Amino acid sequence: MNCPECGAPENLCQTRFDEFLVLEFTDPGYGAVHNLTVCTFMVQHSSRMSRQGWIYERDLLREFVVEKKSPSLIRQQISKSVDSGKRTFTFKSKTGVPVITKSAWAKTILDVRVESAEAYCADVNAWAKAVLEDAETIAV
Ligand SMILES: [Zn+2]
């Protein structure tokens, strides 16, 4: 069965995601794009989040991809903001029902090559950019 959310064959997306996180935590060359991997995967799998959580995640992806903000800069922004780190909404989904119904995407996590850190980082960036472009057309 294909993943109902990102469309990856045989639900391989979750397995791949788990493998990538291990790789990113053990090799800094791969870990350089950790923020993008997590954020992009979350945007494609909206059943894990509340509606506001998904919108937050998509905004974050835009900040990474378009505005080229680093994770440390975004952490700084959050800690400086008035409600320092205290979200006023629930991030996690209470129902497990997807926020968006899209299941056809230009790219999925399966398009990311792992043979070298260079290829990996380039492909995660391309995947993130493609997902943002797809996600920006969705009205929620
Ligand atoms: Zn998936």
Asked if pLDDT for residue 30 goes beyond 60, the answer is yes
Report which listed range, 7-11, 76-80, 84-88, is most confident.
7-11
- Give me 2's structure tokens: 């294909």
Distance 30 CA to ligand 1 centre (A): 21
Predicted TM-score (pTM) above 0.85 = yes
Question: Cβ(70)–Cβ(76) under 8 Å?
Answer: no
The Cα–Cα gap between 5 and 49 comes to 13
DSSP 49: B
The Cα–Cα gap between 35 and 60 comes to 10
Distance 16 CA to ligand 1 centre (A): 10
Distance 79 CA to ligand 1 centre (A): 32
Cross-strand bridge partners of residue 49 = 92
Distance 82 CA to ligand 1 centre (A): 35
Distance 91 CA to ligand 1 centre (A): 19
Distance 6 CA to ligand 1 centre (A): 4
The Cα–Cα gap between 119 and 122 comes to 5
Question: Cβ(110)–Cβ(9) under 8 Å?
Answer: yes
The Cα–Cα gap between 71 and 68 comes to 10
Distance 59 CA to ligand 1 centre (A): 20
Distance 73 CA to ligand 1 centre (A): 29
Asked if pLDDT for residue 78 goes beyond 70, the answer is yes
Residue 82: predicted pLDDT: 54
